[in-house]
Amino acid sequence: MSPDPQKTPAEPASTTIATKHFGQIVVREDQIITFSPGLLGFSELHRYILIEHGQESPFLWLQCVDQPDLAFVVIDPLFVLPNYQIGPLNGVQKELDLKNPHDLKILVILTIPPGHPQDMTANLMGPLLINLANRRGKQLVLESSPYSHKHPVIKR
């Protein structure tokens, strides 16, 4: 008896999505991060995946599952500012159903001006918080913080 190649119930469900930067890629359901509400300005789009940029690169792509040409470059904020702290989480812990603080992944979005990548800035004011345990995410806005939404990444 050979297994039917059409039926592989042990595999997690996967879907093929179109992307601008990576072409067609296969995404497992358990890789999808759901931002609710969506990122500011993209409130209708909730589902994203993280893709490593390269082995030696500190950058990650945050690729939208439902819109091929929407992708952000994100980075660990500690790479930009070693003492970066988002402060008390208040209600966010509940919103993300965060049970273990170690499950919290913090990333910040980079703005890379076309043709002038050395002028890139990090949005330290609007970090992305992701609960790795359930892959729920949220863009937090640190209203009363010293951090800029345009923090220069490369000092000159």
Partner 1 sequence: MLILTRKIGEGIILGDDIRIAVLEIRGKQIRIGIEAPPNVVVLREEIYQRIQEENLQAAGVRDVDLKEIANLFKTKKANEPGSTENSG
The contact set with partner 1 (CB under 8 A) reads 21, 36-37, 39-43, 53-54, 56-59, 70-73, 76, 78-79, 82, 91, 94-95, 105-106, 109-118, 120, 123, 125-126, 139, 141, 143, 149-150, 154
CB of 32 to partner 1, least distance (A): 18
C-beta of 27 vs 140, nearer to partner 1: 140
CA distance 75 to 77: 6
C-beta of 6 vs 100, nearer to partner 1: 100
